[in-house]
Amino acid sequence: MSGDKLDLLPAAGIATVKQHPRSSWRCLVLVASLAIVIVFRCTNFWQSLPVTQLRHNDAKLCPQSDPLYPERHAELWKSLGWDFDQDAFTKRAVQWLGGAVRVPTESYDDMGPVGVDKRWEAFGPFHDYLVQSFPLTHKTLSLTKVNTYGLLYEWKGSDNSLKPLQFAAHQDVVPVEPKTVDQWKYPPYSGYYDGEFIWGRGSSDDKSGLIGILSSIETLLEKDFQPTRTIILSFGFDEEASGIEGASSLSEAILEKYGEHSIALLVDEGEGFGEVEGSIVAIPGIAEKGYMDTRVTVSTAGGHSSVPPPHTSIGILARLLVEFEANPIQPHLERGTPIYSNVQCLGQHAKDFPAHLRALVRTSVHSDRALRKLEAELIKEKRYRALIGTTQAIDLVEGGVKTNALPEEAWAVVNHRIATQSSVAAVQQRDTEILKGLAKDFNLTFTAFGSGISPQDSPTIGALTLTDAWGTALEPAPVTPHSEDSAPWQLLSGTIKATYNAHRGLEGADNIIVSPGIMSGNTDTRSYWKLTEHIIRYNHHNERDGGGLVDNIHTVDEHMLAESFVEMIRFFTTLILNVDETNRF
């Protein structure tokens, strides 16, 4: 290109041309082509970037702690590890959990107060079983029974200046539907062990957690371990019915003795670990979605059905419910939310995470456009869609008493699981707005959550009322700190990795990824927010080996893999020892 000079300015990434009059158009074509090539190659570079290189460039997207093995208690930990690897210990663990399953402890949504409803008495035999099975625990730890059946254990540490470690679990299980008993592989309260799995209601949710904690403590006591830091156990008895009688009362007792923000770390039931996008990923829950049941009630005049109005209360209710389902709450992925943190971790570390999504994860940190593209991709999957946004499900409906009588009232309940970035008030406002137009169209007075919304000037045919169905609305849980600066999170992450490695005879830091996650449901931790900001919902068991929570809780053939249960005990033990060695929190 005689007479032309091309100057590249690397610092600015810009090309400038000193043009010869005869060839300016050629230079423009060259520069445009060069720009297209650079953009194309850069785009494909990020999309095809290996996960190891991405880790190097964006290490802070999802920092990982190293495995944390006990040091001061190293010999004790090694001795316990040898015990856990023996068949004799597995047999013992199976007996502990199987025996707990054999004591039915069902809780129901309609149970009356403790002392009035006789069904609570089922927990008495379970308490007897615990005393018999864990003698050293009951000899050493103090036990207070709160509201009769709540169990509050305290293992006093030697240093009162350290905040206690708290473990939570629940004694109750969901009822077994009588019609399904014949469908179980083994009777639902048999606690049967087939050489691989322990079968029965509660074997996974959540007697594995409760018995796992007690098994760990009993084993530590057998080795003459005494904690430096106090350890508290709080075992509710109606978690499956919102914890109103159990965890709520236990929380009040702990607050009365220790005060607000008095707990160093609280660990309750949650998800475990399993293979995700080609990597093993543990997902401790750092938050829970909120909860609200909106009751939609339509009231109209009664009368004989032979002279019906254009719309009965049931017909109007049906139209209102169609409006709900025709207008689902749109999910939106937001930075700083637990599910965004989870996706960042997968994009950063998971081996088989899709390349185009990995590029979007990286750029979405600063680009709103990339964030919206990432959102659009994720919500194509049912699981992500449910976790990202506020959900709605019409679960109950009732109306009418007789075929020849016009129904004077019809009602339905719409269940909402509220996104962490939303609120009860926002959902109430949305439900109100979506039905306001139909209330006017049907000439109904409209009252929503105690406020008159659209009273009519002329006589109306009836009323539309929205209420909190049971008075149990719950805000989304506070998000647990999970940065590099959060000592409790880093200790828990290191403990997960150490437990995973030790159980498999592995070494190194990269065998399992620890990623923040979110619970789609609610646990007893809803009652413990005032005790600490460091709440983790996690049970260290393999979700993909047939022994996890994913497929078999609350249904036929609930079971737990014996090996997974032993690994849970190892996790609780390692966590107790690691927490006992730190004074960082």
The amino acid present at 93, given as its one-letter code, is A
240 is in an annotated binding site: yes
| Beta carbons within 8 Å of 224's beta carbon, 6+ residues apart | none
Neighbours of 181 (CB within 10 A): 12
Given the residues 83, 106, 239, 543, the one annotated as active site? 239
In angstroms, the first-to-last Cα distance of the chain is 69
Given a contact cutoff of 8 angstroms between Cβ atoms, the answer to whether 324 and 414 are in contact is yes
- 391-399 vs 409-418, strand pairing mode: antiparallel
Known catalytic residue at 408: no
Residue that the structure tokens 């615990």 belong to: 130
- On the question of a cis peptide bond just before residue 206, with omega within 30 degrees of 0, the verdict is yes
Given a contact cutoff of 8 angstroms between Cβ atoms, the answer to whether 341 and 482 are in contact is yes
Given the residues 172, 206, 375, 543, the one annotated as active site? 172
106 is in an annotated binding site: no
206 is in an annotated binding site: no
Known catalytic residue at 172: yes
196 is in an annotated binding site: no
User: Distance (Å, rounded) from C-alpha 193 to C-alpha 181?
Assistant: 18
Nearest by Cα to 402 from 301, 302, 297, 321: 302
User: Distance (Å, rounded) from C-alpha 184 to C-alpha 170?
Assistant: 23
Cα 326 off chain centre by: 28
- 559-561 vs 197-199, strand pairing mode: antiparallel
Give alpha helix (H) positions in 285-423.
Answer: 313-326, 338-349, 355-364, 368-378, 382-388
Given a contact cutoff of 8 angstroms between Cβ atoms, the answer to whether 171 and 238 are in contact is no
Given a contact cutoff of 8 angstroms between Cβ atoms, the answer to whether 190 and 199 are in contact is yes
User: Distance (Å, rounded) from C-alpha 432 to C-alpha 443?
Assistant: 16
Side-chain-side CA neighbours of 124 within 13 Å: the count stands at 7
Side-chain-side CA neighbours of 193 within 13 Å: the count stands at 18
170 is in an annotated binding site: yes
User: Distance (Å, rounded) from C-alpha 283 to C-alpha 513?
Assistant: 9
If residue 275 lies in a helix (H) or strand (E), which one and from where to where? strand 265-276
Side-chain-side CA neighbours of 479 within 13 Å: the count stands at 17
Nearest by Cα to 93 from 549, 553, 539, 563: 563
| Beta carbons within 8 Å of 7's beta carbon, 6+ residues apart | 15, 16, 17, 18
Binding residues: 170, 205, 240, 268, 554
Binding residues for Zn(2+): 170, 205, 240, 268, 554
Q: List active site positions.
A: 172, 239
